[in-house]
Amino acid sequence: MDFDVKDLEYFVSAAEHPSFRRAAANVGVRQSVLSRRIRALEDQLGVSLFERDQSGVRLTVTGRRLLPRARSSLSDLRALAEIASQAGRGAVGHLRIGTMQSLGPGFFRDLVSRYAQDHPDVDIDYLEGGRREQLALLRGRQLDVGLLTGARSNGLEATPLWRERVMAALPEDHPLADRGDLGWGDLGDQRFLVPMNESGQEIQDFIIRKLSDRGFRPSITGHQVSRELLMHLVGLGLGVALTSEAAAGVHYAGVVFRPLSGPDDLLQFSAVWSRDNDNPALRRFISLARSMAKRAAQPAN
């Protein structure tokens, strides 16, 4: 049978009002339209749904039996339409976010916290990994957005969001711990600890480049550990490490953080995503991220 949600809507309205005129006004159509659609519905069903006379309209026995089902079906269809509308607006759905850092105080934490508050019905998955891993997942549509450092990558969209200083993690009794900030020359003879993963390799390359340019031969030791355990190794006095400004907002026993003072010792973080990804939840996330980045860049009054 070929009838749609409007047929159900008109039938229920007519059943709930004493005349087709009032029923039509209730659903915002002309009486002739409602009357014609109900007659067509009766013809398709092969039964009369209403008794019609000069005093008005009344449901037939068949009409009374169909009314509860019609109301239930109409409610279900409206609920489905609302779910579809919410999904199209990004109000419900699923978002997969990649990150290279912890959720310490800073822009990233504020961003995901605000998004989660504004979109409580969006399920969010987080993945921590290196840049190359996340770029591959983005291209394979296994990740919706990555919050990454580094240059723009071919085939992917990117928008700069925020910058953070590179921080040196030192044992609290280290001779440099009393300094306000540090230069690379201060770290030339230090033993650096790095994790043995993709992010650790990127950090190691960064250290080698910075110190070699200044005539130092870096001392670097890799450990197959998490970022958290690496910081505890620093606290034990086994070496120093590098991290981002947000990650430095997390407290570790026996560890202090000092910023590197060079003008190029800043990490630019960008949102990176596939231009072919049409996930509405992603579009809302990017819109919020851009809005927050714009506000953060404005000078304080």
Domains belonging to the chain, first-starting first, are: 5-89 (1.10.10.10), 93-292 (3.40.190.290)
CA 88 from centroid of its chain's CA atoms: 15
The Cα–Cα gap between 194 and 240 comes to 9
Percentage of the chain beyond pLDDT 90 is 49
Phi, psi of 95, rounded to the nearest 5 degrees: -130, 130
The pLDDT assigned to 199 comes to 79
194 confidence band (pLDDT: 50, 70, 90) = very high
DSSP string, 269-280: EEEEEETT---H
The Cα–Cα gap between 58 and 40 comes to 17
Go through the chain and tell me how many residues it has. Answer: 301
For the stretch 1-44, pLDDT in tens is 556 788 889 999 998 888 898 999 999 999 999 999 999 988 88
Answer with the residue of higher pLDDT: 236 or 52: 236
Answer yes or no: pTM beyond 0.75: no
The pLDDT of residue 89 is above 60: no
Question: Is the CA virtual torsion 97, 103, 109, 114 positive or negative?
Answer: positive
Answer with the residue of higher pLDDT: 90 or 214: 214
Q: Give the distance between the most distant pair of CA atoms in the chain.
A: 103
Q: What average pLDDT does the segment 83-107 reach? A: 73
CA neighbor of 158 nearest in space, from 150, 169, 168: 150
User: DSSP character for 260?
Assistant: B
The pLDDT of residue 46 is above 60: yes
